[in-house]
Structure 1
């Protein structure tokens, strides 16, 4: 497979590995899910900011990308507050759930990609997140719901419904890009996969630590 010409196939293949990690994550553990929601809140808080920054970096000659990033920013508006609302419904406060180093690395490096490499490279991050949501958001929602009496899956529900369209838009734009642009996107995609995997592991570790403290 040529990863540049068959980026969609390549990304789907790589996401399958991450999806297996998602399936083994302890979604029935309230502490693990709370940490996951908190980390989601932290990185999603930067989604519109990153998209706005990326939009500002496109020249007039690439207005189609400028407009797409602006439109996407509008579609992601205030989504971080959905995760925050789910946390509050669980009786959790964001101040008690610290941001992990993997989470910071996950989104902070996107500012570098946009400002020092190319705003188009940000599509690697987009495809990783939207692709995971398309593949697993509904699955996670169904895995979580039986363990809570109240609705604590607002964030998941919205992204299960909306992200398929976002992902196809991303693939459509990527297909028109040069080999150099696609290479940058691929590198960012791979990096984002690894960092998100680290984020999941840190959520599990933190949940175990929290459980031990509660039982002490």
Structure 2
């Protein structure tokens, strides 16, 4: 029987910590909690964690800086929680590598759906017999392997992608030379009905361009189509 997935909730509100601990434990997760960045790093150093729920509004600490620290030293799934009205924090959080965001106050069922969606997208598929024959994709000087969830350049070097970046690139290689709207991209990466705002996809596109384009300011692979969305202009070869 597989081990329960492990969530780490980082929030200074003890009521929120207790609520989320009880709720997610009841949903079959193992849950750890921390009230600040130091506690977060202590838990991560002590045991494997599958996903961090990080409140950006920690008093005396910059939640965005903690997001930056996580992405420098840890490659698990990350959802940011924010009660701030401005969308700028969500945008910056996504730019720094968060996989998703949830605005406070939130519905527990929506948060659970977001957690499950991110974990599903970040989970390796090697143990799924139905995925064993999944194709790899070659484009430009890269090879994308959905089974191993890796992107490698022509030298064989792995290029680190967040869950969101990986799923976005996967959608592009599966639909080359086709204009995809922001809504279409959000639906294909987060599931139909996912709530979003246009800047969320734009932010992930910008991050992905910085990793695969030779000149992110003048992209040749992921092209913007004014008023319509984005088009993946590379020639894609499917290898089974």
Q: TM-score, normalised by structure 1?
A: 0.33
Work out which of the two has the higher radius of gyration on C-alpha atoms and give 1 or 2: 2
Structure ranking higher in helix proportion: 1
Structure ranking higher in strand proportion: 2
Higher normalized contact order (CA 8 Å, seq sep 6+, divided by chain length): 1
Q: TM-score, normalised by structure 2?
A: 0.31
